[in-house]
Homo-oligomer: A and B are copies of this chain.
Amino acid sequence: MNAEIITIGDELLIGQTVDTNSAWMGAEFSKMGISIARKTAVQDKANEIKTAISEALSRCNLLLVTGGLGPTKDDITKTTLCEFYGCGYRRDEAVVAHLEALFEARNRKLLDSNIGQADLPELCETLHNRVGTAPGMWFDVNGKVLVSMPGVPSEMMNIMIHEVIPRLKNRFQFPVIVHKTAVTVGIPESLLSKLLEDFESRLPAHIKLAYLPSLNMVKLRLSGRAENSNNLPDEMEKWFNELCHICRKHVLCREDEIPARYMTRKLIEKNLTYTLAESCTGGFIANQMIQEPGVSRIFKGSVICYANEIKISELGVDPQIIETLGAVSEPCAAAMAEGARKKFRTDIALSATGIAGPGGGTTEKKVGLIYIGLSTQNGTQVQKFHLFGNREQFMARACNAAMLMLKDCLEREF
């Protein structure tokens, strides 16, 4: 099967809306073994829409279309599809009943423009919209399926899950696709690819390795494809294990996860309390970690200690350390972590002190330098990093580096 997506709407092209719909559809399809070959975003103009549709249908046999189904003048997808397929309208009484119930529940009057949403192209099957007013449409013409859905993400997802996917499973034959993703931290893409050179050259043709880099982490995604289910999962497992073994020093987790959330979940599972003493990262790591629901069981609080006087008064850092070696130093990071762990009486404390930039760097201590400390009752260790990018990138990288230290610590000590 060849599938494509067309998204319709000026707001997508002038950057007012980030298109998350097509990413969601791509991910759902990928899980089912269908890869989307192309995505096209077009303006709310009938000719542009018709051209894009006819081009796409010449390449694929499944076309997903979103957007342009609202009740206002600039929503022209439905009329354009009628023109494209050269058909008239029929009124769908089930949609009328749904609209009446919906408007009554919302205590609003049903306007003509709303009832018009029940008039659908004769050639399509109605896709019921449980959470909104605009129904989806399923065209199956000349061996090609075109599905039209609203652009509101919750409505599109609901129609996809309840109406489109079940129909697709009846209509098409699906290949088997298996993805396995490992998240690596602290090693650049180029070094990883050198490490994996031999591995990659040995991969069979139906298994591909992709490098997906972002802020101090690189996701390694292994994708395998087969026409029927056979032994692909086992085969993938074997290759993925080898991949993870080759990169074992750098793999934070063997799932497609955000490092801070993954590590926080590990802490919750092990019921280990933690705290933080953040200087240059100013709350970033704390905030990333509390994104994981249930964190309140193991996180009581932490200190943001931007100024030296707060490092001294709140965390008990020896003023001598700061005077002689500076706040951006190994002993200071160690004292911050120890001080925080004792103050908050936790199993683990992480600290971060560095120079986020753009100002504040010196010849000896350049922008990007950071010391990350980790303290447990067994002792305190500090690692030194040079991180690059703007302030936000610096913080994201620092957080990922801290998570890798945390992972090593959990494996070693807990």
Contacts and interface: CB of A to CB of B under 8 A. Distances in A.
B296 A300 contact: no
Contact of A20 (B18, B74, B210, B290): B18
- Which of A15, A22, A36, A219 has its CB near the most chain B CB atoms (within 10 A)? A15
A13 B41 contact: no
Contacts of A306: 290, 295-296, 299-301
A286 B282 contact: yes
B301 A395 contact: no
Interface residues of A, number: 105
A209 to B, nearest CB: 8
A151 to B, nearest CB: 9
Interface in A1-60: 10-20, 22-30, 35-43, 48, 52, 55
Contacts of A108: 188, 191
A113 B37 contact: no
A315 B55 CA distance: 62
Contact of A37 (B30, B48, B285): B48
A72 interface: yes
A28 to B, nearest CB: 7
Contact of A314 (B294, B301, B391): B301
Interface string A194-211: 100000100000001111
Contacts of A211: 70, 72, 74
Interface string A100-125: 00000011100101100000000000
Given A107-B386, A188-B108, A287 B283 contact: yes
A302 interface: yes
Given A113-B193, A310-B344, A26 B12 contact: yes
A19 B15 contact: no
Contacts of A24: 15
A282 B287 contact: yes
A19 B19 contact: yes
A131 interface: yes
Interface string A55-82: 1000000000000001111100000000
Interface string A280-298: 0111111101110111100
18 contacts: A12-B23, A13-B36, A14-B26, A14-B29, A14-B35, A14-B36, A18-B23, A19-B23, A38-B40, A38-B41, A154-B390, A283-B284, A283-B287, A291-B391, A293-B359, A296-B360, A299-B307, A301-B306
